[in-house]
Amino acid sequence: MNPTFTEIQKFNKWWMYILFALPLLLTGIPYLLVQLNFIEPKNEDKSPSEIIFIIILSLIIFVWGITIYLKTTINENGISVHFFGIPFCKKQFLWGEIQSINVIDYSPLADYGGWGVRYSLTKNGWCYNISGKIGIKIIGINNKPFLIGTQQKKEAEKIIKHYFNK
């Protein structure tokens, strides 16, 4: 039997939702207050169509932020990772292309400068992560490192041991 590991991670912290909603709140609420005549507009420089465009753009940013997710799959072929919602952020590692692989503890801020799609300036390579401090560290046969964040350390270790170096 060939087991498969699949993990889907989303940005699900309350403060992240506020961060994604901030542009919408900063544009939408003042516009609504002006339209309801609770406040007087400060300047007439922007036309209503420009303001509506900014609000729609802010709404798109909010929806994008709450719908992006990271999907990791480990199976008999190898490891694939896809950051849905971010163009070109899809990677696959076949087992024969992996020199070493370990589930490690790391510091997202110190090692990669945060969460999301990151490139380390300290020779740690690329990183796709959502939250936490546990990752699947892959060193390819080209000696290039890549880290995939995970919230399921034991399950990831178990499936990697099942397939790697068979």
What is the C-alpha to C-alpha distance for residues 68 and 162, in angstroms, rounded to an integer? 30
User: Which ranges constitute the DSSP H helices of the chain?
Assistant: 14-35, 48-67, 153-163
**Helices and strands, number each (H, E), in the chain:** 3, 9
What is the C-alpha to C-alpha distance for residues 83 and 130, in angstroms, rounded to an integer? 10
Q: State which amino acid sits at residue 49.
A: S
Q: Which residue has the higher pLDDT, 48 or 109?
A: 109
Band the pLDDT of 4: cuts 50, 70, 90.
very high
Q: Which residue has the higher pLDDT, 58 or 46?
A: 58
Mean pLDDT of all residues belonging to the chain? 88
Q: State the pTM of this model.
A: 0.81
Long-range contacts of 10-15 (CB under 8 A, 24+ apart): 10/66, 10/68, 10/69, 10/70, 10/130, 11/65, 11/66, 11/68, 11/69, 11/130, 11/131, 12/131, 13/131
Q: Could you give phi then psi for residue 157, rounded to 5 degrees? A: -60, -40
* Statement: residue 157 has pLDDT above 90: yes
pLDDT in tens, 84-117: 989 899 999 999 999 999 999 999 999 998 889 9
Lowest mean pLDDT, pick from 29-33, 63-67, 73-77, 136-140? 29-33
Task: Return the domain boundaries, the chain.
Answer: 10-67, 70-163
| Three-state SS at 131 | coil
* Statement: residue 44 has pLDDT above 80: no
* Statement: residue 77 has pLDDT above 90: yes
